[in-house]
């Protein structure tokens, strides 16, 4: 990337490397030049999608129409090696704090805590008070802070978005809900999903789609008539495309014929699109069909119609999300704020293969009575799409949500701000906590490291990507810096171009090679994790595993038992 000298005061986010000596290090702030008043800070709009695959956006090879997000990539920097946690609340905890999830309370999702984990520090199931959110710090740095959408980091009083730094917040407190009402989306959530406005529980209006509702709320908060002259930080956290997959009918109808081509054809098309966009090497051989998924051509005609409709509901929901993201962006343009707003899009984790409505049919039929094939995706229906379409969403990547494979962890990330960041594409490895540190740096905020408002807190484990994005450094991390990750026994250690990966043995029940042992991959050359290098490079694997053990001990990981069964917990059949 071209070196760009740009004016603003840089305050590096505080990073503590005490627990991971090789992982993160603070660097002195680069020199700045005075071409713009240092006290003018850009606005920030952070948009996050839910449970979508690496290739579900047009700029990432999809056939789904996402022109508004694509336009951000045209003006911005598109990352192809960005990693998050493999499920919702752990990623959101990482993003909101820059602190490892086993310290901040999301060592596991609260829905799936085991008896061994319950009550243990770091396994509270909500964002504990041993961390400060970046929202608090950004607000302290002079920003107005707004949120609309899914929170999933604590539903009790004192732990809602308004309590964790947002001036104005309209939020789904739980992990999932119907898109048109407060109907729960799963047994683990309870009968009704909870919504809050500025810290108080509220009734969600019935009949308006979540994409439209959250865009409306954010636009209301961003009304410049109501704002002071402060810059804003706005967080738009959409339910798309978590199940239930739902969208207005016209959005679904548009895709019915598209997906009658079947998952084999669409997946191959996406892989070709990724090659033509320079995201994937031209000699990539294509990825094998997920175990247990039949060839599309073997399906009876009726099954083809149902399956095409399931993917059409998913695609329609994504296009519908893009339309409402477009409304927020248009609002910024119409009010003269667009040019001075950094806009970021990312997804919280890879595509969800689980179909709780199939495994727990009675619970769902009672609440989502529309089960006819022609009603798939409508209000009153519950659609999920299983591994057969999740493998299309992930395209060339292996595995899905929950897995520590790339399909669960590698997701889209786009950042647009032409004034600072040159448009382009990069395969530099970036972890979600790095974005937390980046947001602090953009806002001119500093992490207080050990205490905040007279309580002890954990320091960040994160490194701002801003110097790399501005062309001031040629790499984001040194080759020997590492990042550890774990959730529900699925583990990973990233270092340089390499990744050590362990898939938990409990995944075996789902046709996955979860051996409980480590594999080694070069994820720059082999993002699909097709070539396990553990036998060729045992010394390197041993080094990465030793790094992981150091990580695990420092953050206090408590594993799940061998008989852990996610689907039983999800459907309440345990």
Positions marked active-site: 88, 152
Cβ 179 to Ca ion, closest distance in Å?
14
Token pair listed for 347: 């997804």
Nearer to Ca ion, 405 or 547 (CB): 405
For the beta carbon of residue 476, count every other beta carbon within 10 angstroms.
21
For residue 301, give the 3-state DSSP assignment. helix
Cβ 210 to Ca ion, closest distance in Å?
14
Q: Per-residue x/- marks for Ca ion, 166-205, CB under 5 A?
A: ----------------------------------------
Find the part of the chain contacting Ca ion (CB under 5 A) among 55-63, 151-159, 347-355, 497-505: 347-355
Q: What is each CA distance from 472 to 6, 32, 420, 533, in whole angstroms? A: 10, 11, 11, 34
d(CA 144, CA 569): 39
Residues 28-87 close enough to bind Ca ion by CB under 5 A: 50-51
Find the part of the chain contacting Ca ion (CB under 5 A) among 343-351, 358-366, 387-395, 409-417: 343-351
Cβ 50 to Ca ion, closest distance in Å?
4
Count of chain residues binding Ca ion (CB under 5 A): 5
Q: What angle do CA 216, 221, 227 make, to 5 degrees?
A: 150
Residues 137-166 close enough to bind Ca ion by CB under 5 A: none
Find the part of the chain contacting Ca ion (CB under 5 A) among 178-186, 189-197, 348-356, 561-569: 348-356
Question: Do the beta carbons of residue 130 and residue 104 sit within 8 Å?
Answer: yes
Find the part of the chain contacting Ca ion (CB under 5 A) among 11-19, 225-233, 341-349, 424-432: 341-349
Residues 76-105 close enough to bind Ca ion by CB under 5 A: 88
Give yes or no for residue 349 binding Ca ion (CB under 5 A). yes
Q: Which of 124, 167, 174, 348 binds Ca ion (CB under 5 A)?
A: 348
Cβ 308 to Ca ion, closest distance in Å?
24
Nearer to Ca ion, 385 or 452 (CB): 385
Nearer to Ca ion, 137 or 318 (CB): 318
Helix ranges (DSSP H) in 335-410: 356-359, 361-367, 386-394, 406-409
Q: Would the CA dihedral through 290, 292, 293, 298 be positive or negative? A: positive
Q: Residue 201 — φ and ψ, nearest 5°?
A: -65, 130
Cβ 448 to Ca ion, closest distance in Å?
29
Q: What is each CA distance from 302 to 265, 306, 356, in whole angstroms? A: 18, 6, 22
Question: Do the beta carbons of residue 312 and residue 259 sit within 8 Å?
Answer: yes
Chain position whose Cβ is nearest to Ca ion: 88
Nearer to Ca ion, 240 or 461 (CB): 240
Nearer to Ca ion, 397 or 442 (CB): 397
B/e letters for 140-178, b = 16+ CB within 10 Å, e = fewer, are bbebbbbbbbbbbbbbeeebbbbbbbbbbbbbbbbbbbb
Nearer to Ca ion, 71 or 414 (CB): 414
d(CA 8, CA 23): 27
Nearer to Ca ion, 401 or 477 (CB): 401
Cβ 83 to Ca ion, closest distance in Å?
14
Torsion of CA 463, 466, 469, 471, to 10 degrees: -100
Which residues form the interface with Ca ion (CB under 5 A)? 50-51, 88, 348-349
């Amino acid at each position: 990337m071209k070196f760009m000298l740009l004016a603003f005061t840089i305050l590096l986010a505080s990073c503590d490397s005490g627990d991971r000596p090789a992982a993160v290090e603070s660097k002195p702030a680069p020199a700045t030049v005075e071409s713009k008043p240092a006290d003018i800070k850009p606005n920030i709009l952070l948009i996050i999608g839910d449970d979508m695959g690496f290739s579900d956006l047009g700029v990432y090879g999809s056939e789904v129409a996402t022109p508004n997000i694509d336009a951000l990539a045209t003006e911005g920097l598109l990352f192809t090696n960005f990693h998050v946690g493999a499920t919702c609340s752990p990623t959101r905890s990482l993003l909101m704090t820059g602190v490892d999830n086993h310290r901040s309370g999301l060592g596991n999702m609260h829905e799936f805590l085991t008896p061994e984990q319950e009550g243990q520090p770091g396994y509270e199931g909500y964002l504990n008070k041993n961390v400060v959110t970046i929202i608090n710090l950004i607000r302290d740095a002079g920003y107005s802070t707004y949120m609309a959408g899914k929170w999933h980091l604590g539903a009790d009083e004192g732990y809602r978005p308004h309590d964790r730094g947002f001036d104005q917040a309209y939020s789904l407190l739980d992990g999932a809900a119907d898109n048109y009402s407060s109907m729960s989306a799963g047994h683990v959530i309870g009968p009704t999903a909870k919504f809050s406005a500025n810290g108080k529980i509220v009734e969600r209006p019935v009949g308006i789609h979540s994409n439209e509702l959250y865009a409306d709320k954010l636009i209301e908060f961003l009304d410049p008539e109501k704002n002071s002259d402060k810059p804003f930080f706005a967080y738009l956290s959409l339910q798309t495309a978590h199940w239930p997959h739902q969208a207005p009918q016209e959005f679904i109808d548009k895709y019915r014929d598209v997906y009658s081509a079947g998952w084999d054809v669409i997946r191959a098309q996406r892989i070709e699109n990724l090659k033509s966009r320079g995201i994937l090497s031209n000699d990539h051989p294509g990825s094998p069909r997920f175990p247990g998924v039949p060839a599309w051509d073997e399906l009876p005609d009726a099954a083809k119609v149902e399956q095409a409709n399931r993917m059409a509901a998913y695609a329609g929901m994504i296009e519908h999300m893009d339309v409402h993201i477009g409304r927020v962006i248009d609002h910024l343009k119409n009010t003269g704020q667009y040019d001075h707003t950094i806009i970021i899009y990312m997804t919280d984790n890879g595509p969800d293969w689980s179909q709780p409505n199939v495994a727990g049919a009675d619970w769902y039929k009672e609440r989502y009575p529309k089960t006819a094939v022609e009603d798939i995706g409508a209000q009153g229906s519950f659609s999920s799409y299983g591994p057969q379409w999740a493998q299309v969403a992930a395209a060339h990547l292996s595995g899905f949500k929950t897995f520590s494979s790339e399909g669960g962890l590698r997701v889209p990330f786009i950042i647009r701000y032409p004034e600072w960041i040159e448009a382009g594409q990069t395969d530099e490895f970036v972890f979600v906590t790095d974005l937390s540190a980046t947001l602090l740096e953009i806002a001119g905020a500093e992490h207080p490291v050990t205490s905040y408002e007279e309580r002890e807190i954990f320091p960040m484990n994160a490194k701002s990507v801003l110097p790399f994005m501005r062309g001031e450094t040629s790499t984001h991390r040194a080759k020997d810096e590492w990042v550890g990750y774990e959730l529900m026994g699925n583990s990973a250690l990233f270092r340089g171009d390499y990744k050590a990966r362990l898939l938990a043995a409990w995944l075996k029940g789902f046709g996955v090679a979860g051996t409980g042992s480590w594999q080694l991959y070069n994820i720059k050359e082999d993002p699909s994790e097709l070539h396990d290098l553990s036998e060729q490079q045992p010394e390197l694997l041993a080094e990465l595993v030793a790094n992981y053990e150091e990580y695990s001990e420092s953050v206090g990981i408590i594993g799940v038992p061998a008989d852990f069964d996610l689907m039983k917990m999800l459907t309440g059949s345990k």
